[in-house]
């Protein structure tokens, strides 16, 4: 077992002497049952595990068809999935939870990091060496964040088509994602900050992240004109900021809450070209074949500096403490994040949503009122027959399917014109999911699972046995 220094604060460990779950990089969703008690097959796996696009050489489409786990991981260590929170949820009133989610727990984070608790100072140098929150969430009409003096912070908000499954508001959370490029991308050739130059470079990047691998003709402009825009790879120094929030209710509708469940930060600190990424993927595949029971070890990083992935990124995060204030995630809690961002086929240079960007504006509920282009969301529903991997979202099931899982034409017709019909929960469900997650916050039990649900989940294996190794015979692309 990996030995890690132990530090504690407010009742949680920044590091644990022994990881409670050594495979926290394998998400709880990966333990879902894909055949129900009536023999009907469900495939949410195709959203993440695909025949990937270059330069992502992790072609893991086969994971739609098998639980390819090391022996240790055949036991599901996400024990929170099987807890019944009915009694705890009943004790929380609607008024209480709405008051809670409407509080701003981001504004105090910078102050807390300046008055650094000793237990957060991993290297004992008296200062916080990780990401220092510097976004004001003060966006103009084009998504540019500005500080109190009106100066650009570099953070730019974009609306996007939410990735399939887990992060839909109907499953418990609202969220937004911001991007920031290195300062030379903000400036003209004379070194002066120019908002138009920055926006043009962002638009170049947005296009290149969707482009084919053989298109190497484009360069950035301004002071960054010496930098080629490589298809599907971000420039070194690119940063992302991702807030995961509760669900508020405004004007009788679900809305994004002020309170953050988590604040996630990522930075690309080293650049790997196509050849290097191909070699890395080949080495990973060979290692997995030669040592199938060997566990992944992320050796570089800690709760203060984040965890480094072999793809060249650092990831770190903040999560609620018992009082609802944001505190650094511990090693194991951050390990939960890096698995998906470092080794699945669906990502583009380790990220999910930037290639799905629509326009430069802060992500709000209004952004979800768009058409289901190419039937992407309908395809997910038809292949999974639920609104999430665990198939416990009865609201979505009832809305789109009959009791024998026949699609409801009227519902799918509405979805075609407005994906919010699928993505937004009823007010009753929103409040219930808020309360269920608040119970996890009170327990500080994130390392055992952070999915907000009331009843124990039935469609998840506690133990994957040999006879369950095959999921689906037909792969869905």
Give the C-alpha separation, 247 to 257, whole Å. 5
Q: What total number of domains does the chain contain?
A: 1
Would you give the distance in Å from CA 228 to the centre of its chain? 28
Domain that holds residue 353: 7-182+236-468
Distances (CA, A) of 403 to 39, 96, 349: 14, 35, 41
* Residue 345 falls inside a structural domain: yes
Q: What single DSSP character describes residue 192?
A: -
pLDDT tens over the chain, length 477 residues: 343 333 333 333 344 447 899 999 999 999 999 999 989 999 999 999 999 999 999 999 999 988 999 999 999 999 999 999 999 999 999 999 999 999 999 999 999 999 999 989 998 999 999 999 999 999 999 999 999 999 999 999 999 999 999 889 999 999 999 999 999 999 999 999 999 999 999 999 999 998 876 666 689 999 999 999 999 999 999 999 999 999 999 999 999 999 999 999 999 999 999 999 999 999 988 988 999 899 888 878 888 989 999 899 999 999 999 999 999 999 999 999 998 998 899 999 999 999 999 999 999 888 999 999 899 999 999 999 999 999 999 999 999 999 999 999 999 999 999 999 999 999 999 999 999 999 999 999 999 999 999 999 999 999 997 545 555 544 444
* Residue 111 falls inside a structural domain: yes
* Residue 193 falls inside a structural domain: no
- Asked if 358 and 210 touch (Cβ cutoff 8 Å), the reply is no
* Residue 144 falls inside a structural domain: yes
* Residue 216 falls inside a structural domain: no
Give the C-alpha separation, 323 to 259, whole Å. 12
Q: Are strands 306-308 and 301-302 parallel, antiparallel or unpaired?
A: antiparallel
């Amino acid at each position: 077992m990996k030995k890690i220094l132990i530090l504690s604060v407010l009742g949680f460990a920044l590091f644990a002497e022994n990881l409670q779950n050594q495979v926290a990089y394998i998400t709880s969703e990966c333990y879902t049952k894909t055949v129900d008690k009536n023999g009907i097959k469900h495939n949410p796996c195709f959203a993440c595990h695909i025949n990937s696009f270059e330069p992502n050489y992790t072609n893991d489409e086969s994971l739609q068809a098998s639980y390819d786990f090391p022996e240790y991981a055949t036991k599901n260590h996400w024990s929170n999935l099987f807890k019944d929170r009915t009694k705890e949820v009943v004790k929380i009133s609607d008024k209480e939870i709405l008051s809670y989610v409407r509080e701003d727990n981001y504004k105090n984070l910078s102050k807390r990091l300046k008055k650094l608790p000793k237990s957060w100072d991993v290297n004992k140098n008296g200062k916080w060496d990780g990401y220092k929150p510097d976004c004001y969430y003060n966006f103009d009409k084009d998504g540019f964040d500005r500080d109190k003096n009106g100066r650009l912070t570099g953070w730019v908000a974009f609306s996007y088509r939410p990735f399939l499954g887990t992060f839909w508001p109907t499953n418990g959370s609202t969220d937004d994602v911001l991007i920031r490029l290195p300062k030379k991308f903000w400036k003209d050739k004379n070194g002066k900050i120019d908002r138009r130059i920055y926006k043009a470079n962002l638009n170049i990047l947005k296009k290149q992240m969707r482009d084919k691998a053989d298109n190497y003709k484009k360069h950035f402009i301004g002071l960054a004109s010496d930098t080629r825009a490589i298809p599907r790879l971000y420039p070194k120094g690119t940063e992302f900021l991702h807030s995961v929030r509760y669900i508020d209710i405004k004007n009788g509708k679900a809305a994004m809450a002020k309170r953050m469940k988590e604040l996630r930060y990522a930075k690309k600190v080293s650049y790997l070209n196509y050849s290097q990424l191909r070699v890395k993927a080949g080495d990973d595949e060979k290692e997995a074949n030669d040592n199938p029971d060997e566990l992944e070890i992320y050796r570089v990083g800690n709760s203060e500096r984040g965890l480094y992935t072999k793809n060249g990124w650092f990831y770190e995060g903040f999560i609620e403490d018992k009082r609802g204030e944001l505190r650094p995630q511990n090693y194991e809690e951050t390990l939960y994040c890096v698995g998906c961002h470092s080794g699945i086929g669906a990502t583009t240079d380790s990220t999910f949503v930037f290639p799905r960007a629509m326009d430069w504006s802060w992500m709000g509920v209004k952004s979800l009122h768009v058409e289901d282009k190419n039937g992407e969301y309908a395809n997910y529903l038809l292949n999974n027959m639920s609104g999430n991997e665990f198939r416990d979202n009865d609201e979505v099931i009832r809305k789109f399917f009959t009791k024998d899982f026949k699609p409801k034409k009227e519902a799918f017709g509405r979805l075609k014109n407005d994906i919010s019909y699928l993505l937004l929960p009823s007010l009753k469900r929103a409040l219930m999911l808020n309360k269920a997650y608040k119970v996890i916050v009170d327990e500080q039990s994130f390392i055992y699972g952070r999915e907000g649900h009331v009843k124990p989940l039935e469609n998840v294996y506690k133990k994957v046995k040999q006879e369950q190794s095959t999921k689906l015979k037909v792969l869905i692309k």
